[in-house]
Structure 1
């Protein structure tokens, strides 16, 4: 696998800006402590569409930024930016990031809410590059530069 964590983002509210952080603590069966979906304040909670933790490939963000969209400061609305790992290739697998064991849940297509909070064209730019959702199987901490490997 051989990827790593490049950046981490959280927000306590479904419509608030994502903030870059140096470390997160995860909660088994919930997600990231203090993040909108673990706290029940995410936009999609009302519709029952909750991802415990979201990941997106940094390589995809590079491509989108080349199109002129500002996406690297958390506008993608995903928690973990990775580098060097094919996230869709994790389908059906458990994987470890730092102290945490995660399990692939599903792909996370972009939604209109992301575009509403960022800029026109964001939903289209993220199509087929929206990242994945993962479930927290074993809690712990995640930090930038943590290695991503099969569990």
Structure 2
């Protein structure tokens, strides 16, 4: 069963987010009290490009299974460390198609694409960027730093909440960087 392992938010633009008991998602905006909440893009690098862009990065999700995999390689990572709002367990986030709706707690979100990991990750833990941004055998770039979503129905999300997956109609579109 897919579930929420942890939730996190931060009112400031910092790399990591502190874990909390619950987060409230606001439809069309993101996580209440989080620096990335907004109808238009809030990520600083995106704001400098075009501050009027729609915010397709309202909620960041990351699988705790990635933390467990990286722990075997010597990286000590905890929920919130990589800036995610929702840490999941039991769900192949990277395998979801664009437009997938996830019902989580009282809320619902729609998957928009992949998080593009940046060099700040190596500043957080040296060498970590090469573990979450790598090349496949075919030379294709593989992004493993989680997925992004927009809030379609607001509500509370807490650790232990079940996650229900609703796939979009076929054909399924692969996740791309947002």
Smaller-chain TM-score bracket: 0.7 to 0.9
Name the counterpart of 1:143: 158
Of 101, 106, 126, the residue aligned with 2:108 is 101
> Hey, which of these two has a bigger chunk of helix by percent?
1
Corresponding residue SS for 1:29: coil
Q: Which has the larger radius of gyration?
A: 2
Write out aligned runs for 1:62-101 (5 A). Answer: 62-91=68-97, 92-101=99-108
The separation in 1 between residues aligned to 2:35 and 2:46, in whole angstroms, is 9
The separation in 1 between residues aligned to 2:81 and 2:29, in whole angstroms, is 23
Corresponding residue SS for 1:36: coil
Of 121, 133, 137, the residue aligned with 2:148 is 133
Corresponding residue SS for 2:8: strand
Q: What TM-score does the superposition give when structure 2 sets the normalisation length?
A: 0.75
Q: Which moved more, 1:2-11 or 1:71-80?
A: 71-80
Q: Which moved more, 1:122-131 or 1:97-106?
A: 122-131
Q: Which moved more, 1:17-26 or 1:35-44?
A: 35-44
How many equivalent pairs are there?
A: 149
1:11 to partner: Cα distance: 1.3
1:16 to partner: Cα distance: 5.8
1:15 to partner: Cα distance: 2.2
CA RMSD of superposed structures (Å): 2.0
Name the counterpart of 1:38: 37
Q: Which moved more, 1:69-78 or 1:52-61?
A: 69-78
Determine if the alignment matches structure 1 residue 25 to structure 2 residue 24.
Answer: yes
CA deviation vs aligned residue, 1:38-75 (integer Å, no higher than 9, x gap): 16764345245851001011111101121111221522
Gaps of 5+ in 1: none
42 and 11 in structure 1: CA distance in 2 versus 1, 3 angstrom threshold? farther
Gaps of 5+ in 2: 134-142, 167-178
